[in-house]
Chain A
Amino acid sequence: MKKTKIFAAIGGLGLAALSVFLIAADHIDAPAVAGTSTDIADFYSFQGEDPNNLVFVVDVQGLIAPGQPTEQAVFDEDVLLEINIDNNNDLVEDLVIQAIKRDTTMYFFGPVAPSQTGLNSAIDEANMSGSVPISTTTDIQTTTNNGIQFFAGPRDDPFFFDFTRYNEVIAGSATGFNNPGADTFEGTNVLSVIVEVPKSMLGSGVVGANPLAPTVPVYNVWVEAKRKQ
């Protein structure tokens, strides 16, 4: 372990957390998390290329400038990203998928029933489902284990919005949007954790949650960022 520690120390010296700016879908949504490593930028969930799978995309630390800042942006080892799945519409998580960085790797746990629901979590070590080396801007790594696919690293920010004009409208300095608008997020990057899971691991969805599609079985899903105490 002696060498491991020395190697980790050298690696640590070469990395620096990046402070970020601006806002988006959830980017810098509230004072306590704005610009921190727990600031969730965005969350997507959709049917995979294989329709038997569901994909979750979690973006953190939004609006990273291209080039060297992207290479210096890093996941925080003290921040657990937790995807929550409620499959009986009581708005309480029945399953979680946990992701956390250690050294140069992102580790994943679940989908598994959490030992406790709510604001506090422990990592379910016994249910590690896989891991993936964290990608860089040029070295793109994905892994697959038991049918689950994993990715972690910098990506183009998929969000698009004329957020600058929106703020002007809200502030009263503009009366409407421009046509065409200008994508505030064009050319910027985020740190993404992407996991694709067989739906068979998520249980059955429940009908009635979505009043606009009352016969469609759905999962209620959301993501949380939790900091080690």
Chain B
Amino acid sequence: MKTYKYITIFIAICTSLLFVQCTDADDSDNIIGLVTCDDGLQNGDEEGIDCGGTICEACVGIVDFSGTYVQEDQMGRPGINTVFGTSGMKDSFNTTIPSSMGAAFQSSFETKLLGLNPAYTSNALGLDAATFTTVLANDVLWVAETGTTTYFNGTEILTGRNLTDDVIDVSLLLIFGGPAGTDNPTLTSDFVSANDVTFSSSFPYVANPN
């Protein structure tokens, strides 16, 4: 019965649309099923409702893209603000341009790092606390122009971020693992090493929704 009700509502909406179209005396081509540039639908190869594509006017000027858009959130590397941000600065981190981040946040990131791991001296990359947090505070993702892109694959380090990369284990290892990566063994992996659904090798790569 529920389905039937929805069908009824759908028909009602369609009928009302039809009615609206029929009352519009300006148009002579209001035939349902015919792709037109004024049928109130995105159909054919239109890029928006009644615009773009091969026969309709370009969407620019029809669709409104005007205005100023002001930043509220940003992200480069995974988990940076979540892990290293401190109460009171997370919002300002999200609205600071990357070229100003180092000066603004390196010091507080270093304090946070030493709070998480008071025994920190260096990590598996050989970076002391000041150098490591300088890298992290400039929150941009490095992506190699050519060749393998990976957060870490055992050989390449920080040359991109694949869907399959276990970025959490990389981060935990660098924060808690010490110079040899062997310190704090219960903190250097969350023991979740892969997504629960596999990824496609083709666009759009990420799996269908659940």
Contact = CB atoms under 8 A, between A and B. Distances in A.
Interface string B41-79: 110000111101000000110011111111111111011
B190 A181 contact: yes
A176 B187 CA distance: 5
Nearest to A212: B157
Given A45-B141, A57-B206, A160 B85 contact: no
A100 B65 contact: yes
B110 interface: no
Given A23-B82, A40-B75, A177-B187, A57 B24 contact: no
Interface string B179-197: 0000011110111111111
Most buried by A among B64, B81, B141: B141
Most buried by B among A25, A105, A166: A25
Contacts of A189: 209-210
A223 interface: yes
Interface residues on B, range: 35 or more
B168 A161 contact: yes
Contact of A158 (B90, B163, B187): B163
A169 B199 CA distance: 30
A121 B71 CA distance: 8
Contact of A187 (B67, B161, B210): B210
B70 A57 contact: no
Contacts of B143: 45-46, 54, 205, 218-221
Given A40-B74, A102-B63, A119-B95, A216 B144 contact: yes
Contacts of A187: 196, 210
Contact of B48 (A79, A131, A194): A131
Interface string A2-18: 11101110100000000
A171 B141 CA distance: 29
Contacts, number: 338
Given A92-B97, A137-B209, A181-B190, A47 B70 contact: no
A54 B157 CA distance: 18
A97 interface: no
Interface string B1-42: 000000000000100010011001000000000000011111
Nearest to A70: B209
Interface string B72-112: 11111011111001000011011101110100000000000
B158 interface: yes
Contacts of A151: 203-204
Interface residues of A, number: 117
Given A38-B73, A107-B65, A194 B206 contact: yes
Contacts of A112: none
A121 B72 CA distance: 12
Contact of B203 (A155, A196, A229): A196
A48 interface: yes
B189 A177 contact: yes
B85 A4 contact: no
A201 interface: no
Interface in A185-210: 186-189, 192, 194, 196, 199, 202, 204-205, 209-210
Interface of A: 2-4, 6-8, 10, 23-27, 29-33, 36, 38-40, 42-49, 51, 54-55, 57, 66, 70, 79-80, 82, 86, 90-92, 100, 102-105, 107, 117-123, 125-126, 128, 130-131, 133, 137, 140, 142, 149, 151, 153-156, 158-162, 165-166, 169, 175-183, 186-189, 192, 194, 196, 199, 202, 204-205, 209-213, 216-229
Given A36-B72, A103-B48, 4 more contacts: A46-B161, A131-B59, A155-B209, A160-B196
